[in-house]
Chains A and B, each alone.
Chain A
């Protein structure tokens, strides 16, 4: 596709369940980012991939959160034992290379996660 694609667009789950959120970046983009946007807040950095490896996962809130990008394209954000506080919009972005301050990230529309 032409843009960053995220699925599902909406996910409602119960506390304690496991959730996977998928991101399909723009073809050829080597850098991929996950951000989380809570209600009334700006996006907050979670993790950055350069190729297949997580170059910086310092934004992941705790060890219930994990992300993979096994073939350097599609990425999956995995959340174990979900809590109500995990409810947010999870944004994925990609760029042709590490943006290095140029900030030209291309964002998907996000996956809205609601934990009941």
Chain B
């Protein structure tokens, strides 16, 4: 079956530090890949996505590149801010039938301190 593995948290960084959250996946074919973010007291929000190999998704200074050869979709940001403190979820959507069904990782809690 499909699965997503992401690095365990919590991750604590100082403001302006570089962020990497690792994500690898298992799926047949060519899934679409996503990062969702959950800020305190809010619902999950789509942060960025990539739908085919070598695509780079980007939003709000975050980036992730779909690497088919390593089945990875690592999230990066060059300079984090306190407002980036949240829980980040990597997810996949299978190709073909059932593409509406997202499979999520366990989430990584990020805390950014001033």
Q: Complex: how many Å from CA A13 to CA B4?
A: 32
Q: A105-B46, A107-B44 are in contact. Are A42 and B105 (CB under 8 A)?
A: yes
**In the bound complex, do residue B51 and residue A45 qualify as a contact, i.e. CB atoms below 8 Å apart?**
no
CB proximity of B5 to chain A, nearest CB, Å: 10
Flag whether A43 is at the interface (Cβ < 8 A). Answer: yes
Q: Which of A43, A48, A104 contacts B104 (CB 8 A)?
A: A43
Task: Scan A16-42; emit 1 where CB is below 8 A from any B CB, else 0.
Answer: 000000000000000101010000111
CB proximity of A87 to chain B, nearest CB, Å: 17
CB proximity of B101 to chain A, nearest CB, Å: 5
In chain A, what residue has the closest Cβ to B95? A101
Q: Complex: how many Å from CA A40 to CA B104?
A: 12
Among B90-111, those with CB < 8 Å from A are 91, 93-95, 98-107
In chain B, what residue has the closest Cβ to A48? B100
Residues in A with CB closer than 8 Å to B99 are 98-101
**In the bound complex, do residue A43 and residue B102 qualify as a contact, i.e. CB atoms below 8 Å apart?**
yes
**In the bound complex, do residue A45 and residue B102 qualify as a contact, i.e. CB atoms below 8 Å apart?**
yes
In chain B, what residue has the closest Cβ to A43? B104
In chain A, what residue has the closest Cβ to B41? A109
Main secondary structure of the interface of B (DSSP, over half): loop
Residues in A with CB closer than 8 Å to B41 are 109
Interface size for chain B: under 10, 10 to 19, 20 to 34, or 35 or more residues?
Answer: 20 to 34
**In the bound complex, do residue B101 and residue A48 qualify as a contact, i.e. CB atoms below 8 Å apart?**
yes
Among B35-49, those with CB < 8 Å from A are 41-46, 49
Residues in A with CB closer than 8 Å to B81 are none
Flag whether B25 is at the interface (Cβ < 8 A). Answer: no
**In the bound complex, do residue A91 and residue B93 qualify as a contact, i.e. CB atoms below 8 Å apart?**
no
CB proximity of A45 to chain B, nearest CB, Å: 5
**In the bound complex, do residue A4 and residue B43 qualify as a contact, i.e. CB atoms below 8 Å apart?**
yes
Flag whether B66 is at the interface (Cβ < 8 A). Answer: no
Residues in A with CB closer than 8 Å to B93 are 99, 101-103
Q: Complex: how many Å from CA A14 to CA B5?
A: 34
**In the bound complex, do residue B43 and residue A3 qualify as a contact, i.e. CB atoms below 8 Å apart?**
yes
**In the bound complex, do residue B46 and residue A42 qualify as a contact, i.e. CB atoms below 8 Å apart?**
no
Among A60-116, those with CB < 8 Å from B are 91, 93, 98-110
